Amino acid sequence: MPIQTRYTPLNAFLAYLQFEKRYSIHTITAYSNDLIQFFDFVETQYEGIPFTQLTGTMVRSWLASMKEVEMTGKTLNRKISSLKSFFKYQIQQGQLVKSPMETVISPKISKRLPAFVAENDMEQLLLNLSFAEGWNGLTEKMVIQLFYATGMRLSELIQCKENQLDISKRVIKVVGKGNKERILPISPELATSLKKYIAEKPSEAIGNSHLFVTEKGKALQPRAVYTFVKFHLSQVTTLQKKSPHVLRHSFATHLMNNGADLNAVKELLGHSSLAATQVYTHNTIEKLKEVFSKAHPKA
């Protein structure tokens, strides 16, 4: 079912994202929220003039109002990207000849280096830290193991179905952003553990195809996963940010630090461009500095 708003031009664009671009509902909702916010501003400040008459100055006045509420540069850039996509679509449809976004400059933001858990801390978490008894404790341990073993995103793990796991080939199929599929390898030990986990699922889970379920047989919810991942990471690290995405960063960083090819890491993470993966190379440089300082007689 297409997302409907009170702005007709926006509805056609959202339908295009949903049915032709096949974006996830999460991505479409983000676009929708950004554009509704913009159209609400236009309606209030410019008496709802047609989008075909909007100018770069009007767009910049909206962005300036966002800055007044101390919106981050990253969020502003996302909103600019949403508008650029919307106006590009209108040009493709013949509704516009020129985009008002041509004169809008995205704010520069400093790239933050990804936070990651040290290898020895991850080893302590997976080997030495005891999880709660019962189904919930087992589920939490398996979820954290799979996050770290594959680098998959929270949404990818929660939506993962049993039939996406091939125990004999020791691979798991993941459906990522833009409904793009990728195949991820898993270790023999993890494959065996997952096979045992599936075999021990509670009877309440019959008919539920999700790989991970609660003790009541329901699919895991994002907030619940975020909560227990944060709790367990707090036992082994003092990182300020403790989330499933930190485990993804740890997966990528540890691969790079141990000599993995950058292109291979890109494919494993499901990145669309190499630039997104290159952020992890900084940790490799730090690793080289550490080796140099320990091994070189003049260091």
Contacts 24+ apart (CB under 8 A), 258-264: none
Residue 287 known to be catalytic? no
Q: How far apart are CA 190 and CA 187, in angstroms?
A: 5
Would you call 170 a catalytic residue per the annotation?
no
Q: Of 60, 173, 230, 271, which one is the catalytic site residue?
A: 271
157: how many CB neighbours lie within 10 A of its CB?
Answer: 23
Which candidate in 248, 249, 254, 266 is catalytic?
A: 248
Interstrand relation of 165-166 and 181-185 (parallel, antiparallel or unpaired)? unpaired
* Active-site annotation holds for 254: no
Is 182 considered catalytic here?
no
Is residue 58 within 8 A of residue 41, CB to CB? The reply is no
Helix/strand/coil for 182? strand
Q: Is 210 a catalytic residue?
A: no
Neighbouring residues of 55: CB distance < 8 A, sequence distance ≥ 6: 100
Mark whether 153 is an active-site residue: yes
DSSP letter at 219 equals: B
Q: Which two tokens stand for residue 236?
A: 């082994």
Q: Report yes or no: 32 and 3 within 8 Å, Cβ to Cβ.
A: yes
Active-site option among 78, 245, 282, 287: 245
d(Cα 118, Cα 115) in Å, to the nearest integer? 10
Cβ 236 vs Cβ 188: under 8 Å: no
Choose the catalytic residue: 78, 170, 173, 177.
177
Residues 6, 93, 35: CA angle, nearest 5 degrees: 35
Task: Tell how many helices (H) and how many strands (E) occur in the chain.
Answer: 13, 3
Task: For helices 222-233 and 135-150, give the axis angle rounded to 10 degrees.
Answer: 80
Please pick, among 79, 141, 153, 254, the residue that the annotation labels catalytic.
Answer: 153
Place of tokens 């909560």: 227
Distances in Å between the Cα of 47 and the Cα atoms of 1, 42, 55 are: 31, 7, 14
Just list the catalytic residues: 153, 177, 245, 248, 271, 280
